[in-house]
Structure 1
Amino acid sequence: MRNVKISPSILSADLGNLAGDLEKISNADFIHIDVMDGHFTPNLTFGPEVVRVAKRVSNVPLDVHMMVSNPEESIDWYADAGADLITVHYEAATHLHRIVSRLHDKGVQAGVVLNPATPVCLLESIIDDLDMVLLMSVNPGFGGQKYIEATYAKLRELTALCKRHGVDPMIEVDGGVGMGNIEQIVAAGANVLVAGSAVFGSQDPAQAVFDLREAGTRGIAKQNA
Protein backbone atom coordinates (compact mmCIF):
# COMPACT_ATOMS: atom_id res chain seq x y z
CA MET A 1 0.00 0.00 0.00
CA ARG A 2 1.41 3.37 -0.99
CA ASN A 3 1.56 6.28 1.41
CA VAL A 4 -1.57 8.40 1.57
CA LYS A 5 -1.35 11.54 -0.54
CA ILE A 6 -3.46 14.70 -0.24
CA SER A 7 -4.41 16.73 -3.32
CA PRO A 8 -6.10 20.02 -2.31
CA SER A 9 -8.50 21.33 -4.95
CA ILE A 10 -8.04 24.95 -5.94
CA LEU A 11 -11.76 25.03 -6.76
CA SER A 12 -12.07 26.05 -3.10
CA ALA A 13 -9.06 28.40 -3.07
CA ASP A 14 -9.08 32.19 -3.20
CA LEU A 15 -8.33 32.76 -6.88
CA GLY A 16 -7.61 36.41 -6.17
CA ASN A 17 -4.68 35.24 -4.06
CA LEU A 18 -3.84 31.92 -5.71
CA ALA A 19 -0.09 32.19 -5.15
CA GLY A 20 -0.66 32.87 -1.47
CA ASP A 21 -3.07 29.97 -1.07
CA LEU A 22 -0.70 27.59 -2.85
CA GLU A 23 2.09 28.65 -0.54
CA LYS A 24 -0.11 27.66 2.40
CA ILE A 25 -0.32 24.07 1.08
CA SER A 26 3.32 23.60 0.15
CA ASN A 27 3.22 20.40 2.26
CA ALA A 28 0.59 18.83 -0.02
CA ASP A 29 1.41 15.92 -2.33
CA PHE A 30 -0.47 17.29 -5.34
CA ILE A 31 -2.39 20.40 -6.32
CA HIS A 32 -5.73 19.36 -7.82
CA ILE A 33 -6.89 21.54 -10.72
CA ASP A 34 -10.44 20.90 -11.95
CA VAL A 35 -10.85 21.85 -15.61
CA MET A 36 -14.53 22.24 -16.58
CA ASP A 37 -15.80 23.29 -19.99
CA GLY A 38 -19.43 24.19 -19.28
CA HIS A 39 -20.48 21.28 -21.52
CA PHE A 40 -19.39 18.01 -19.90
CA THR A 41 -20.13 19.74 -16.59
CA PRO A 42 -22.55 22.62 -15.93
CA ASN A 43 -19.69 24.74 -14.58
CA LEU A 44 -16.80 26.54 -16.29
CA THR A 45 -13.40 26.78 -14.65
CA PHE A 46 -9.69 26.84 -15.40
CA GLY A 47 -7.77 27.24 -18.61
CA PRO A 48 -4.12 26.27 -19.16
CA GLU A 49 -2.90 29.66 -17.93
CA VAL A 50 -3.95 28.73 -14.38
CA VAL A 51 -1.84 25.57 -14.67
CA ARG A 52 1.07 27.66 -15.96
CA VAL A 53 0.77 30.04 -12.99
CA ALA A 54 0.52 27.20 -10.47
CA LYS A 55 3.61 25.59 -11.98
CA ARG A 56 5.51 28.86 -11.66
CA VAL A 57 4.62 29.62 -8.03
CA SER A 58 4.62 26.11 -6.51
CA ASN A 59 6.88 23.06 -6.48
CA VAL A 60 3.97 20.73 -5.68
CA PRO A 61 3.08 18.40 -8.61
CA LEU A 62 -0.03 19.39 -10.55
CA ASP A 63 -2.91 16.90 -10.72
CA VAL A 64 -5.12 18.15 -13.57
CA HIS A 65 -8.63 16.68 -13.75
CA MET A 66 -10.13 17.22 -17.21
CA MET A 67 -13.93 17.39 -16.88
CA VAL A 68 -14.36 18.24 -20.55
CA SER A 69 -15.92 16.86 -23.68
CA ASN A 70 -13.44 15.69 -26.35
CA PRO A 71 -10.39 15.81 -24.03
CA GLU A 72 -8.11 14.73 -26.89
CA GLU A 73 -8.55 18.24 -28.32
CA SER A 74 -7.17 20.03 -25.25
CA ILE A 75 -4.85 17.73 -23.28
CA ASP A 76 -1.79 19.11 -25.05
CA TRP A 77 -2.57 22.62 -23.77
CA TYR A 78 -2.46 21.45 -20.16
CA ALA A 79 0.49 19.10 -20.62
CA ASP A 80 2.51 21.90 -22.21
CA ALA A 81 1.44 24.32 -19.44
CA GLY A 82 3.10 22.10 -16.83
CA ALA A 83 0.65 19.41 -15.69
CA ASP A 84 2.44 16.50 -14.05
CA LEU A 85 -0.57 14.18 -14.15
CA ILE A 86 -3.72 14.46 -16.26
CA THR A 87 -6.89 12.46 -15.76
CA VAL A 88 -9.67 12.28 -18.35
CA HIS A 89 -13.19 10.96 -18.00
CA TYR A 90 -14.04 7.56 -19.42
CA GLU A 91 -17.45 8.98 -20.35
CA ALA A 92 -15.90 11.73 -22.52
CA ALA A 93 -12.96 9.97 -24.16
CA THR A 94 -13.68 8.36 -27.52
CA HIS A 95 -10.10 7.12 -28.02
CA LEU A 96 -8.90 6.41 -24.49
CA HIS A 97 -5.79 4.40 -25.30
CA ARG A 98 -4.66 7.08 -27.73
CA ILE A 99 -5.02 9.78 -25.08
CA VAL A 100 -3.09 7.78 -22.48
CA SER A 101 -0.32 7.04 -24.97
CA ARG A 102 -0.17 10.68 -26.02
CA LEU A 103 0.27 11.84 -22.43
CA HIS A 104 2.96 9.26 -21.75
CA ASP A 105 4.81 10.33 -24.90
CA LYS A 106 4.82 13.87 -23.50
CA GLY A 107 6.22 12.70 -20.17
CA VAL A 108 2.95 13.25 -18.29
CA GLN A 109 1.35 10.65 -16.03
CA ALA A 110 -2.09 9.57 -17.26
CA GLY A 111 -5.25 8.52 -15.49
CA VAL A 112 -8.92 7.78 -16.10
CA VAL A 113 -11.89 9.13 -14.14
CA LEU A 114 -15.18 7.33 -13.52
CA ASN A 115 -18.37 9.18 -12.64
CA PRO A 116 -20.43 7.74 -9.76
CA ALA A 117 -22.73 5.75 -12.08
CA THR A 118 -19.93 4.40 -14.33
CA PRO A 119 -18.93 0.82 -13.44
CA VAL A 120 -15.35 -0.16 -12.62
CA CYS A 121 -15.44 -3.15 -15.00
CA LEU A 122 -15.12 -0.77 -17.98
CA LEU A 123 -11.46 -0.25 -17.04
CA GLU A 124 -10.59 -3.89 -17.76
CA SER A 125 -8.88 -3.16 -21.09
CA ILE A 126 -7.01 0.02 -20.00
CA ILE A 127 -6.04 -0.57 -16.37
CA ASP A 128 -2.59 -1.94 -17.26
CA ASP A 129 -1.64 1.40 -18.86
CA LEU A 130 -2.78 3.81 -16.14
CA ASP A 131 -0.83 5.74 -13.54
CA MET A 132 -4.03 6.70 -11.71
CA VAL A 133 -7.72 5.87 -11.49
CA LEU A 134 -9.93 8.63 -10.08
CA LEU A 135 -13.31 7.66 -8.69
CA MET A 136 -15.76 10.54 -8.41
CA SER A 137 -17.60 10.32 -5.11
CA VAL A 138 -19.93 13.15 -6.14
CA ASN A 139 -21.38 14.09 -9.50
CA PRO A 140 -18.84 16.43 -11.11
CA GLY A 141 -19.40 20.13 -11.53
CA PHE A 142 -19.37 21.82 -8.14
CA GLY A 143 -17.45 21.70 -4.87
CA GLY A 144 -18.97 21.11 -1.44
CA GLN A 145 -21.18 18.15 -2.34
CA LYS A 146 -21.94 15.21 -0.05
CA TYR A 147 -19.91 12.01 -0.43
CA ILE A 148 -21.77 9.17 -2.20
CA GLU A 149 -21.61 6.11 0.07
CA ALA A 150 -21.60 3.62 -2.84
CA THR A 151 -18.04 4.73 -3.56
CA TYR A 152 -16.74 2.36 -0.88
CA ALA A 153 -17.93 -0.68 -2.84
CA LYS A 154 -16.43 0.74 -6.06
CA LEU A 155 -13.10 1.20 -4.31
CA ARG A 156 -13.05 -2.41 -3.22
CA GLU A 157 -13.99 -3.54 -6.72
CA LEU A 158 -11.25 -1.37 -8.26
CA THR A 159 -8.67 -2.71 -5.81
CA ALA A 160 -9.63 -6.26 -6.78
CA LEU A 161 -9.35 -5.42 -10.49
CA CYS A 162 -5.85 -4.01 -9.99
CA LYS A 163 -4.82 -7.08 -8.03
CA ARG A 164 -6.04 -9.41 -10.78
CA HIS A 165 -3.98 -7.50 -13.33
CA GLY A 166 -0.93 -7.22 -11.10
CA VAL A 167 -0.84 -3.42 -11.37
CA ASP A 168 -0.65 -0.68 -8.77
CA PRO A 169 -1.98 2.65 -10.10
CA MET A 170 -2.71 5.45 -7.67
CA ILE A 171 -6.36 5.35 -6.64
CA GLU A 172 -7.83 8.79 -6.10
CA VAL A 173 -11.21 9.83 -4.68
CA ASP A 174 -12.73 13.24 -5.35
CA GLY A 175 -15.80 14.70 -3.68
CA GLY A 176 -17.00 15.12 -0.12
CA VAL A 177 -13.71 13.99 1.44
CA GLY A 178 -13.02 15.21 4.98
CA MET A 179 -11.88 14.20 8.43
CA GLY A 180 -15.13 12.34 9.03
CA ASN A 181 -14.64 9.79 6.24
CA ILE A 182 -11.05 9.83 4.98
CA GLU A 183 -9.96 6.94 7.21
CA GLN A 184 -12.76 4.74 5.87
CA ILE A 185 -12.06 5.80 2.25
CA VAL A 186 -8.43 4.76 2.54
CA ALA A 187 -9.40 1.51 4.26
CA ALA A 188 -11.52 0.71 1.18
CA GLY A 189 -8.54 1.15 -1.15
CA ALA A 190 -7.86 4.83 -1.97
CA ASN A 191 -4.42 6.36 -1.54
CA VAL A 192 -4.86 9.85 -3.05
CA LEU A 193 -7.57 12.10 -1.62
CA VAL A 194 -8.86 15.31 -3.15
CA ALA A 195 -9.98 17.82 -0.55
CA GLY A 196 -11.22 21.30 -1.29
CA SER A 197 -13.22 23.02 1.43
CA ALA A 198 -11.70 20.68 4.06
CA VAL A 199 -8.34 22.34 3.33
CA PHE A 200 -8.95 25.85 2.04
CA GLY A 201 -11.95 26.35 4.30
CA SER A 202 -9.84 25.76 7.40
CA GLN A 203 -7.98 28.43 9.34
CA ASP A 204 -4.68 26.59 8.78
CA PRO A 205 -4.62 24.82 5.39
CA ALA A 206 -1.17 23.31 5.97
CA GLN A 207 -2.34 21.77 9.25
CA ALA A 208 -5.49 20.51 7.51
CA VAL A 209 -3.33 18.73 4.91
CA PHE A 210 -1.26 17.18 7.71
CA ASP A 211 -4.33 16.10 9.68
CA LEU A 212 -6.02 14.57 6.64
CA ARG A 213 -2.89 12.64 5.75
CA GLU A 214 -2.56 11.37 9.32
CA ALA A 215 -6.20 10.27 9.38
CA GLY A 216 -5.78 8.54 6.03
CA THR A 217 -2.70 6.74 7.29
CA ARG A 218 -4.82 5.24 10.08
CA GLY A 219 -7.00 3.83 7.31
CA ILE A 220 -4.04 1.85 5.95
CA ALA A 221 -3.79 0.02 9.25
CA LYS A 222 -7.49 -0.86 9.05
CA GLN A 223 -7.05 -2.13 5.49
CA ASN A 224 -4.18 -4.37 6.53
CA ALA A 225 -5.87 -5.59 9.74
Structure 2
Amino acid sequence: MVRIHPSILSADFVNLERDLEKIATADGVHVDIMDAHFVPNLTFGLPMVQRIAEVTRLPLDVHLMIDDPDTWAHQYAIDGVDSVTFHAEATRDAVAIARELRARGTRSAIAVKPGTHIDRVLEHLPEFDMVLVMTVEPGFGGQAFMADMMPKLRQLRDRADELGIELALQVDGGITDDTLPIAAAAGADVFVAGSAVYGHADPAARIDALREAGMLQPGSLER
Protein backbone atom coordinates (compact mmCIF):
# COMPACT_ATOMS: atom_id res chain seq x y z
CA MET A 1 0.00 0.00 0.00
CA VAL A 2 1.25 3.48 -0.91
CA ARG A 3 0.91 6.01 1.88
CA ILE A 4 1.59 9.69 1.23
CA HIS A 5 2.70 11.93 4.08
CA PRO A 6 3.10 15.53 2.88
CA SER A 7 5.74 17.48 4.74
CA ILE A 8 4.52 20.74 6.21
CA LEU A 9 8.09 21.99 5.98
CA SER A 10 6.98 23.07 2.49
CA ALA A 11 3.71 24.61 3.68
CA ASP A 12 3.02 28.26 4.47
CA PHE A 13 3.63 28.51 8.22
CA VAL A 14 1.59 31.72 8.42
CA ASN A 15 -1.41 29.90 6.91
CA LEU A 16 -0.73 26.45 8.27
CA GLU A 17 -4.30 25.46 9.12
CA ARG A 18 -5.36 26.38 5.58
CA ASP A 19 -2.51 24.33 4.13
CA LEU A 20 -3.38 21.35 6.32
CA GLU A 21 -6.88 21.43 4.85
CA LYS A 22 -5.37 21.26 1.36
CA ILE A 23 -3.87 17.84 2.14
CA ALA A 24 -6.93 16.36 3.87
CA THR A 25 -6.83 13.36 1.50
CA ALA A 26 -3.31 12.37 2.54
CA ASP A 27 -2.53 9.42 4.81
CA GLY A 28 -0.68 11.48 7.38
CA VAL A 29 1.14 14.74 8.05
CA HIS A 30 4.94 14.68 8.25
CA VAL A 31 6.10 17.16 10.89
CA ASP A 32 9.83 17.96 10.92
CA ILE A 33 11.23 19.07 14.27
CA MET A 34 14.67 20.64 13.82
CA ASP A 35 16.80 22.14 16.59
CA ALA A 36 19.61 23.91 14.67
CA HIS A 37 22.09 21.52 16.33
CA PHE A 38 21.56 18.02 14.94
CA VAL A 39 20.72 19.72 11.65
CA PRO A 40 21.53 23.33 10.70
CA ASN A 41 17.91 24.41 10.28
CA LEU A 42 15.39 25.39 12.97
CA THR A 43 11.64 24.78 12.81
CA PHE A 44 9.41 24.41 15.87
CA GLY A 45 8.77 22.20 18.88
CA LEU A 46 6.14 20.48 20.99
CA PRO A 47 3.68 23.40 21.37
CA MET A 48 3.28 23.60 17.59
CA VAL A 49 2.82 19.83 17.31
CA GLN A 50 0.09 20.01 19.95
CA ARG A 51 -1.67 22.75 18.02
CA ILE A 52 -1.38 20.95 14.68
CA ALA A 53 -2.95 17.87 16.28
CA GLU A 54 -5.90 20.02 17.33
CA VAL A 55 -6.68 21.33 13.85
CA THR A 56 -6.28 18.24 11.65
CA ARG A 57 -7.85 14.79 11.68
CA LEU A 58 -4.84 13.32 9.92
CA PRO A 59 -2.40 11.29 12.01
CA LEU A 60 0.85 13.11 12.70
CA ASP A 61 4.16 11.55 11.68
CA VAL A 62 6.68 13.45 13.83
CA HIS A 63 10.30 13.38 12.66
CA LEU A 64 12.75 14.51 15.34
CA MET A 65 15.94 15.89 13.85
CA ILE A 66 17.26 16.87 17.25
CA ASP A 67 20.05 16.16 19.69
CA ASP A 68 19.27 13.97 22.70
CA PRO A 69 16.04 12.23 21.64
CA ASP A 70 16.57 10.00 24.69
CA THR A 71 15.35 12.95 26.78
CA TRP A 72 12.78 14.47 24.45
CA ALA A 73 11.23 11.83 22.18
CA HIS A 74 8.63 10.50 24.63
CA GLN A 75 7.20 14.00 25.13
CA TYR A 76 5.89 13.91 21.56
CA ALA A 77 3.79 10.79 22.24
CA ILE A 78 0.59 12.80 22.55
CA ASP A 79 -2.96 12.47 21.23
CA GLY A 80 -2.99 12.83 17.46
CA VAL A 81 0.61 11.70 16.99
CA ASP A 82 0.69 8.31 15.27
CA SER A 83 4.46 7.85 15.19
CA VAL A 84 7.60 9.49 16.53
CA THR A 85 10.80 9.08 14.53
CA PHE A 86 14.18 9.71 16.11
CA HIS A 87 17.63 9.45 14.55
CA ALA A 88 19.97 6.53 15.09
CA GLU A 89 22.88 8.97 14.99
CA ALA A 90 21.55 11.04 17.91
CA THR A 91 20.41 8.42 20.41
CA ARG A 92 22.23 6.68 23.23
CA ASP A 93 19.69 3.85 23.57
CA ALA A 94 17.36 3.40 20.59
CA VAL A 95 15.66 0.34 22.07
CA ALA A 96 14.76 2.17 25.29
CA ILE A 97 13.23 5.06 23.33
CA ALA A 98 11.26 2.69 21.11
CA ARG A 99 9.86 0.79 24.09
CA GLU A 100 8.90 3.99 25.89
CA LEU A 101 7.08 5.31 22.83
CA ARG A 102 5.15 2.08 22.43
CA ALA A 103 4.29 2.07 26.13
CA ARG A 104 2.77 5.53 25.65
CA GLY A 105 0.65 4.32 22.73
CA THR A 106 2.71 5.79 19.87
CA ARG A 107 4.41 3.88 17.09
CA SER A 108 8.19 3.86 17.33
CA ALA A 109 10.32 4.77 14.33
CA ILE A 110 14.02 5.21 13.74
CA ALA A 111 15.72 7.19 10.98
CA VAL A 112 19.10 6.80 9.32
CA LYS A 113 20.99 9.47 7.43
CA PRO A 114 22.53 8.64 4.03
CA GLY A 115 25.98 7.98 5.47
CA THR A 116 24.78 5.73 8.31
CA HIS A 117 25.05 1.94 8.12
CA ILE A 118 21.87 0.14 9.09
CA ASP A 119 23.48 -2.77 10.96
CA ARG A 120 22.39 -1.58 14.39
CA VAL A 121 18.87 -0.98 13.12
CA LEU A 122 18.73 -4.46 11.61
CA GLU A 123 19.94 -5.92 14.91
CA HIS A 124 16.92 -4.58 16.80
CA LEU A 125 14.37 -4.42 14.00
CA PRO A 126 11.41 -5.91 15.96
CA GLU A 127 11.61 -2.95 18.36
CA PHE A 128 10.51 -0.54 15.63
CA ASP A 129 7.24 -0.03 13.82
CA MET A 130 8.84 2.02 11.05
CA VAL A 131 12.30 2.78 9.68
CA LEU A 132 12.92 6.02 7.81
CA VAL A 133 15.67 5.89 5.21
CA MET A 134 16.70 9.43 4.36
CA THR A 135 17.13 9.87 0.62
CA VAL A 136 18.68 13.32 1.10
CA GLU A 137 20.84 14.82 3.81
CA PRO A 138 18.41 15.93 6.53
CA GLY A 139 17.83 19.57 7.34
CA PHE A 140 16.53 21.27 4.19
CA GLY A 141 13.84 20.60 1.60
CA GLY A 142 14.20 20.58 -2.17
CA GLN A 143 17.24 18.31 -2.45
CA ALA A 144 17.76 15.67 -5.14
CA PHE A 145 16.76 12.04 -4.50
CA MET A 146 19.67 9.70 -3.68
CA ALA A 147 18.94 6.46 -5.53
CA ASP A 148 21.99 4.80 -3.97
CA MET A 149 20.01 4.48 -0.72
CA MET A 150 17.82 1.77 -2.25
CA PRO A 151 19.99 -1.16 -1.06
CA LYS A 152 19.23 -0.11 2.52
CA LEU A 153 15.52 -0.39 1.83
CA ARG A 154 15.94 -3.82 0.27
CA GLN A 155 17.97 -5.05 3.25
CA LEU A 156 15.38 -3.78 5.69
CA ARG A 157 12.45 -5.28 3.78
CA ASP A 158 14.22 -8.63 3.41
CA ARG A 159 15.03 -8.76 7.13
CA ALA A 160 11.48 -7.84 8.13
CA ASP A 161 10.17 -10.59 5.87
CA GLU A 162 12.62 -13.09 7.39
CA LEU A 163 11.45 -12.17 10.89
CA GLY A 164 7.79 -12.18 9.89
CA ILE A 165 7.15 -8.71 11.31
CA GLU A 166 5.08 -5.84 10.00
CA LEU A 167 7.40 -2.94 9.31
CA ALA A 168 6.66 0.32 7.55
CA LEU A 169 9.54 1.63 5.43
CA GLN A 170 9.52 5.36 4.88
CA VAL A 171 11.59 7.49 2.52
CA ASP A 172 12.08 11.21 2.85
CA GLY A 173 13.79 13.46 0.32
CA GLY A 174 13.39 14.16 -3.36
CA ILE A 175 10.16 12.18 -3.73
CA THR A 176 8.37 12.88 -7.03
CA ASP A 177 6.28 10.95 -9.56
CA ASP A 178 9.56 9.69 -11.04
CA THR A 179 11.43 8.72 -7.86
CA LEU A 180 8.55 7.29 -5.82
CA PRO A 181 8.28 4.13 -7.99
CA ILE A 182 12.01 3.51 -7.53
CA ALA A 183 11.69 3.58 -3.75
CA ALA A 184 8.47 1.54 -3.84
CA ALA A 185 10.15 -1.18 -5.89
CA ALA A 186 12.91 -1.34 -3.26
CA GLY A 187 10.37 -1.91 -0.48
CA ALA A 188 9.23 1.50 0.72
CA ASP A 189 5.55 2.04 1.46
CA VAL A 190 5.41 5.44 3.21
CA PHE A 191 6.51 8.48 1.22
CA VAL A 192 7.27 11.95 2.51
CA ALA A 193 6.70 14.61 -0.13
CA GLY A 194 7.18 18.33 0.39
CA SER A 195 7.56 20.47 -2.71
CA ALA A 196 6.07 17.65 -4.84
CA VAL A 197 2.77 18.37 -3.04
CA TYR A 198 2.89 21.95 -1.82
CA GLY A 199 4.79 23.24 -4.82
CA HIS A 200 1.66 22.94 -6.97
CA ALA A 201 -1.64 24.80 -7.10
CA ASP A 202 -3.68 21.69 -6.22
CA PRO A 203 -1.99 19.66 -3.45
CA ALA A 204 -4.83 17.12 -3.36
CA ALA A 205 -4.34 16.34 -7.05
CA ARG A 206 -0.63 15.90 -6.45
CA ILE A 207 -1.33 13.41 -3.65
CA ASP A 208 -3.48 11.41 -6.08
CA ALA A 209 -0.73 11.54 -8.71
CA LEU A 210 1.88 10.27 -6.27
CA ARG A 211 -0.37 7.41 -5.20
CA GLU A 212 -0.90 6.52 -8.84
CA ALA A 213 2.84 6.58 -9.44
CA GLY A 214 3.28 4.10 -6.61
CA MET A 215 0.65 1.77 -8.00
CA LEU A 216 2.38 1.82 -11.38
CA GLN A 217 5.76 0.94 -9.92
CA PRO A 218 8.06 -1.25 -12.00
CA GLY A 219 8.81 -4.83 -11.02
CA SER A 220 11.14 -5.55 -8.14
CA LEU A 221 14.63 -4.23 -8.62
CA GLU A 222 17.43 -6.70 -9.08
CA ARG A 223 18.95 -7.85 -5.83
Question: TM-score by structure 1 length?
Answer: 0.94
Q: What SS does structure 1 have at the residue aligned with 2:123?
A: coil
State the match for 1:127 in structure 2.
125
State the match for 2:6 in structure 1.
8
**Residues 130-209 of structure 1 mapped to structure 2, 5 A cutoff:** 130-209=128-207
Counterparts of 2:138 and 2:123, CA distance in 1: 24
Instruction: Tell me the CA shift for residue 177 of structure 1.
Output: 0.5
Name structure 2 gaps, 5 residues minimum: none
Alignment-mate amino acid for residue 112 of structure 2: L
Instruction: Tell me the CA shift for residue 78 of structure 1.
Output: 1.7
State the match for 2:21 in structure 1.
23
Across the aligned residues of Structure 1 and Structure 2, the Cα RMSD in angstroms comes to: 1.6
Retained in 2: the 8 A contact 1:38–1:44?
Answer: yes
Alignment-mate amino acid for residue 92 of structure 1: A
Retained in 2: the 8 A contact 1:51–1:81?
Answer: no
State the match for 1:79 in structure 2.
77
Question: Aligned residue pairs: how many?
Answer: 222
Name structure 1 gaps, 5 residues minimum: none
Counterparts of 1:214 and 1:120, CA distance in 2: 30
List 4+ stretches of structure 1 deviating above 3 A.
none
Retained in 2: the 8 A contact 1:85–1:109?
Answer: yes
Retained in 1: the 8 A contact 2:74–2:97?
Answer: no
Counterparts of 2:112 and 2:163, CA distance in 1: 19
Q: What SS does structure 2 have at the residue aligned with 1:85?
A: strand
Alignment-mate amino acid for residue 64 of structure 2: M
User: Which residue, out of 35, 59, 66, partners 1:37?
Assistant: 35
Q: What SS does structure 2 have at the residue aligned with 1:110?
A: strand
User: Which residue, out of 202, 213, 222, partners 2:219?
Assistant: 222
Q: What SS does structure 2 have at the residue aligned with 1:64?
A: strand
Alignment-mate amino acid for residue 223 of structure 1: S
Retained in 1: the 8 A contact 2:122–2:156?
Answer: no
Retained in 2: the 8 A contact 1:51–1:82?
Answer: no
Retained in 2: the 8 A contact 1:28–1:60?
Answer: yes
What does the per-residue CA deviation read over 1:1-44, in whole Å, with 9 as the maximum and x for residues that have no partner? xx110000000000111000000100000100011111110111
Counterparts of 1:107 and 1:176, CA distance in 2: 31
Counterparts of 1:119 and 1:154, CA distance in 2: 8
Counterparts of 1:181 and 1:96, CA distance in 2: 30
Question: TM-score by structure 2 length?
Answer: 0.95
Q: What SS does structure 1 have at the residue aligned with 2:197?
A: helix
State the match for 1:106 in structure 2.
104
